[in-house]
Amino acid sequence: MSTTPGPRRIVRKHDTEYTLLGTAHVSKASAEEVRTLIRSGEFDAVAVELCPARYQAMSEPDQIAQMDLFQVIKQGKAGMVAANLAMGAFQQRVADESGIAPGEEMKAAIEEAQTAELPLFVIDRDIGITLRRVYRGVPWWQRSQLIAGIIGSLVSKEKVSAEEIERLKEGDVLQSTFAEFAEESEGLYQALITERDHYMALRLAEENGDSRYKKVLVVIGAGHLAGIETNLHSHLPTNPREQREILERVPKGSNWLKYVPWIIAALIITGFAIGFSRGPELGLRLVTEWVLINGTLTAFGILIARGHPLTVIAGFFAAPFTSLNPTIGAGFVAAAVEIFARKPTVGDFAHLRTDVSTVGGWWRNRVSRTLLVFFFATLGSASATYIGGFRIFGQLTGG
């Protein structure tokens, strides 16, 4: 194990000296270096590259057991929870491959700061906001590729390559996850790296605006070292909170996209009306095919997720109607029935992070399987809507 000290930068701002310690997120040496520096008594405050949510998860690892899965799905947070679990799975596999759990240096900083009774600042932006800004950082037509890439890199592989582990030593989980995409997308790189460097510098200025702490140890991934140093050297605003809040806003999506589901539903209902106007037989055939296509593809998606038989039946009958009502989706109905039929146990929540570190574990654990039911039912219903719509159009036009 290397004992080479991590890269450091000393930045003097007003009456405060910030020691930026660039750590490797997969390194026992980095964790020991953090402990040694804090125990030296040289610093009167410590800052860490964590957001409040990640800090809480690190401080209270059992908090996930308190998650209300139904409310998570109802509030539209299923994707965010799944992304967090996927990144947690990546971390677990890195730990299994390297023997070192990522983030040990952050845990060391938290423990030592508490022991020394030093103020601890969590300065990174909320991971949920960053992920949403990352999502908005690419054109809508590239988002499916981004999502597929995340799933492919974080879920489908049992092994983590040596190259990925080395990359993680220089950056963090987010950077490792999106590195391939960030290199090709200026917007994504901005949200993932540049903005976070600026955000963390603003948080330091916000926490220590009056320079009451004279020597602050800032524990960050080595990949953020240069960016934060540059931002601290620059002219930071007198009101850093205002700029920080700007970086916390999630850009709104294109307004026209929210009308697409309603337009599609209106076109399909219009197709039914035209069909019945030409004859009851044609109208009934269009409705029957719509029901079969929607029900079958949604049920098939639920079967892929290994949903409960009751969930499969509910999805089959709900999909033809939910596809015509954008306010409720087949995935939500399927997930609600799955939770009713197979309510997750305390053990499912307790073993969730470990289970999702393998592909099979996503289907074995009731919590993650419910998320899969939601996603695959939604995918099946969405596919059926377009297939059924084109089928109706084809029959009406004689195609």
Residue 182: inside a domain? yes
Higher pLDDT: 222 or 366? It is: 366
Assess whether 348 and 381 both reside in one domain: yes
Residues 267, 247 share a domain: no
Residue 232 scores a pLDDT above 70? yes
Give the per-residue pLDDT at 143. Answer: 65
Rounded Cα distance between 327 and 131, Å, is 24
| Same-domain pairing of 225 and 329 | no
pLDDT for the residue 63: 61
- Residues 22-30: what's their mean pLDDT? 76
Model confidence pTM above 0.85: no
- pLDDT > 60? residue 3: no
For residue 168, what pLDDT is reported? 55
- Per-residue confidence at 176, pLDDT binned at 50, 70, 90? low
Higher pLDDT, 67 or 352: 352
pLDDT for 179: 54
On whether residue 1 sits in a domain, the answer given is: no
**Residue 334 neighbours by CB under 8 Å, 6+ apart:** 298, 302, 307, 311, 314, 315, 318, 373, 374, 377
Q: How confident is the model at residue 222 (pLDDT cuts 50, 70, 90)?
A: confident
- Per the domain annotation, does 377 fall within a domain? yes
Task: Please state, for a pLDDT cut of 90, what percent of the chain lies above it.
Answer: 42
Structure tokens at 103: 């983030």
358 band by pLDDT with thresholds 50, 70 and 90: confident
Choose one of 211, 238, 253: the last residue of a domain: 253
Does any domain span residue 302? yes
**Window from 24-33, 250-259, 306-315, 383-392 with minimum mean pLDDT:** 250-259
Q: Are 358 and 265 part of one and the same domain?
A: yes
Q: For residue 88, name the pLDDT band (cuts at 50, 70, 90).
A: low
Residue 3 maps to a domain: no
Which span out of 49-63, 84-98, 172-186 was modeled with the highest average pLDDT?
Answer: 49-63
355 vs 363, more confident: 363
In the structure encoding, which two tokens stand for residue 244, read together? 């920080």
Q: Is there a single domain that holds both residue 209 and residue 120? A: yes
**Domain assignment of residue 111, yes or no:** yes
pLDDT of 141 > 80? The answer is no
Q: What is the per-residue pLDDT across 335-350, written as a single tens digit (0 to 9) for each?
A: 999 999 998 887 888 7
Q: How many CA atoms lie within 13 A of 13 on its CB side?
A: 30
Mean pLDDT, rounded, for 76-98: 68
The tally of domains found in the chain comes to: 2
2 located within any domain: no
| 267-300 confidence digits (pLDDT tens) | 999 999 999 999 999 999 999 999 999 999 999 9
Q: Output 213 or 260, whichever has higher pLDDT.
A: 213
Residue 65, domain extent: 8-253
Residues 267 and 177 in one domain: no
Q: Are 23 and 30 in contact (CB under 8 A)?
A: yes
Question: CA–CA separation, 58 vs 53, rounded Å?
Answer: 9
Residue 315 CA from chain centroid, whole number: 26
Averaged pLDDT, 247-260: 77
| Whether residues 167 and 290 fall in one domain | no
Check residue 44 and give its pLDDT: 95
Q: Do 248 and 261 have their domain in common?
A: no
pLDDT, residue 207, reads 93
Residue bearing the bigger pLDDT, 278 or 60: 278
Say if CB 348 and CB 366 are below 8 A apart: yes
When comparing pLDDT for 37 and 164, which is higher? Answer: 37
Place of tokens 């009451």: 212
pLDDT of residue 304: 94
Terminal alpha carbon distance of the chain? 69
Looking at per-residue pLDDT, the higher value among 248 and 166 belongs to 248
Q: Looking at the structure, do residues 211 and 262 belong to the same domain, yes or no?
A: no
Summarize the confidence of residues 82-87 as an average pLDDT.
70
Q: What angle do CA 115, 120, 124 make, to 5 degrees?
A: 140
Asked if residue 363 and residue 278 are part of one domain, the reply reads yes
pLDDT given at position 334: 94
Domain end marker among 253, 282, 301? 253
**Are both 189 and 273 inside the same structural domain?**
no
And the tokens for 384?
């059926």
Q: Which has the higher per-residue pLDDT, 388 or 139?
A: 388
pLDDT at site 1: 39
Last residue of a domain, one of 253, 274, 308: 253
Residue 173 lies in a domain: yes
Query: Cα dihedral sign for 201, 206, 210, 215?
Result: negative
At 290 the pLDDT is 94
Asked if residue 10 lies in contact with residue 18, where contact means CB atoms within 8 angstroms, the answer is yes
Q: Is the pLDDT of residue 128 over 70?
A: yes
Mean per-residue pLDDT of the chain: 82
Together in a domain, 126 and 249? yes
